[in-house]
């Protein structure tokens, strides 16, 4: 039986199958229902039952964070319980931090939502597990204990109840309304700015426009090029050849225009390299060539 694997992905997938007792690759290894990152001091994931896996998603380094990402992907067919949302001590610590920020922030709705999401995730995890997630510091292994034994539960509920009282709920709602108004005004200003910059591009006042959902085209002032809002120039002859392929419906993925490759052709737009150009823009510009 193979126990040494060529990469972290393979060992994590083998762990997920739970068909053998041991396996390792690089700095990841598993023993029966538990997989570790760098050593037994850090449980990366542990099966609580054949269909439920606890994932320790609190990373201490860049490499461990990568291990967390891999194990989350490899066990995606199982019910995943994240320790960040399920271990009472961690949940309580986060709730305290978020509650403090809620009290002082003028954008308090953000922390209001985070507190409620964290609390609901914790309660959901407890429902799935049939108790609360307990970490034994001596063995670094997880187990399930009755929720009635959770010493942090009352404080967790108190913070949740405090945040959701009438006064704080109204404060969060007002904060959200202000944020929506701010975002709406910002979007209006951004749209006006984009329209002004588009007009400047059309009138040859500027050579490029950033922040558009699509790229725009124009025939250069000298008439020898087609220019894009990303400041790219395509010789007129090359643009005509490409436009003729488009008109005859012979344009396919992989077709080159200048140094760019056609990646997607559909009814709404054509994606050419880093450009995404509306079909209407191609037709309008092509007819001017």
115-122: long-range pairs with CB below 8 Å, 24+ = 115/159, 115/160, 115/163, 116/160, 116/163, 116/164, 118/85, 118/91, 118/94, 119/91, 119/95, 119/156, 119/159, 119/160, 121/82, 121/85, 121/86, 122/85, 122/86, 122/88, 122/91, 122/156
Q: Which of 83, 108, 131 is the last residue of a domain?
A: 83
Reading the block at residue 106, the tokens are 């003028």
| Number of structural domains the chain divides into | 3
Domain match, 104 and 141 both:
yes
Mean pLDDT of all residues in 40-45: 91
Domain match, 105 and 168 both:
yes
- Asked whether residue 204 is domain-assigned, the answer is no
Q: Per residue in 209-244, pLDDT tens?
A: 988 999 999 999 999 999 999 999 999 999 999 999
Domain match, 79 and 125 both:
no
Domain match, 265 and 223 both:
yes
- Asked whether residue 2 is domain-assigned, the answer is no
Give phi and psi for 16, each to the nearest 5: -65, -35
Domain match, 42 and 115 both:
no
Domain match, 76 and 118 both:
no
Q: Which position has the token pair 């972290």?
A: 8
Position 2 confidence tier, pLDDT thresholds 50, 70, 90:
confident
- Asked whether residue 202 is domain-assigned, the answer is no
- Asked whether residue 25 is domain-assigned, the answer is yes
H or E, element range at 222: none
Q: Which of 129, 157, 178 is the last residue of a domain?
A: 178
CA–CA separation, 118 and 125 (whole Å): 10
- Asked whether residue 188 is domain-assigned, the answer is no
The pLDDT assigned to 247 comes to 92
Domain match, 224 and 276 both:
yes
Domain match, 38 and 76 both:
yes
Domain limits for position 59? 8-83
Reading the block at residue 22, the tokens are 């041991």
On average, the pLDDT of the chain sits at 94
- Asked whether residue 68 is domain-assigned, the answer is yes
Q: Per residue in 60-119, pLDDT tens?
A: 688 889 999 999 999 999 999 999 999 999 999 999 999 999 999 999 999 999 999 999
The pLDDT assigned to 138 comes to 84
Q: Which position has the token pair 């450009």?
A: 275
Domain match, 270 and 228 both:
yes
- Asked whether residue 130 is domain-assigned, the answer is yes
- Asked whether residue 209 is domain-assigned, the answer is no
Q: Which of 59, 83, 107 is the last residue of a domain?
A: 83
The pLDDT assigned to 141 comes to 87
């Amino acid at each position: 039986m193979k126990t040494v694997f060529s990469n972290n992905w393979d060992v994590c997938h083998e762990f997920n199958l739970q068909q053998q007792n041991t396996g390792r690759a690089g700095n990841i290894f598993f023993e029966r229902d538990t997989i570790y990152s760098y050593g037994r001091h850090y449980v990366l994931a542990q099966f609580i039952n054949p269909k439920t896996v606890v994932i320790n998603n609190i990373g201490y380094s860049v490499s461990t964070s990568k291990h967390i990402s891999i194990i989350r992907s490899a066990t995606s067919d199982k019910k995943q319980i994240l320790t960040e949302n399920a271990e009472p001590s961690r949940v309580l610590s986060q709730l305290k931090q978020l509650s403090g920020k809620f009290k002082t922030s003028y954008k308090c709705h953000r922390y209001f939502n985070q507190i409620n999401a964290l609390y609901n995730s914790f309660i959901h995890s407890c429902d799935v597990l049939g108790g609360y997630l307990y970490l034994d510091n001596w063995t670094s292994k997880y187990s399930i204990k009755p929720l009635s034994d959770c010493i942090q539960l009352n404080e967790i509920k108190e913070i949740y109840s405090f945040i959701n009282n009438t006064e704080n709920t109204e404060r969060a709602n007002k904060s959200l309304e202000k944020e929506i108004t701010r975002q709406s005004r910002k979007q209006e200003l951004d749209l006006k700015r984009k329209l002004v910059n588009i007009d400047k591009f059309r009138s040859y006042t500027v050579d490029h426009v950033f922040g558009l959902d699509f790229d725009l085209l124009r025939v250069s002032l000298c008439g020898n090029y087609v220019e894009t809002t990303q400041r790219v120039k395509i010789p007129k002859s090359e643009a005509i050849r490409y436009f003729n392929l488009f008109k005859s419906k012979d344009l396919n993925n992989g077709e080159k225009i200048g140094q760019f490759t056609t990646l997607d052709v559909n009814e709404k737009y054509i994606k050419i390299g880093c450009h995404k150009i509306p079909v209407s823009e191609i037709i309008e510009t092509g007819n001017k060539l």
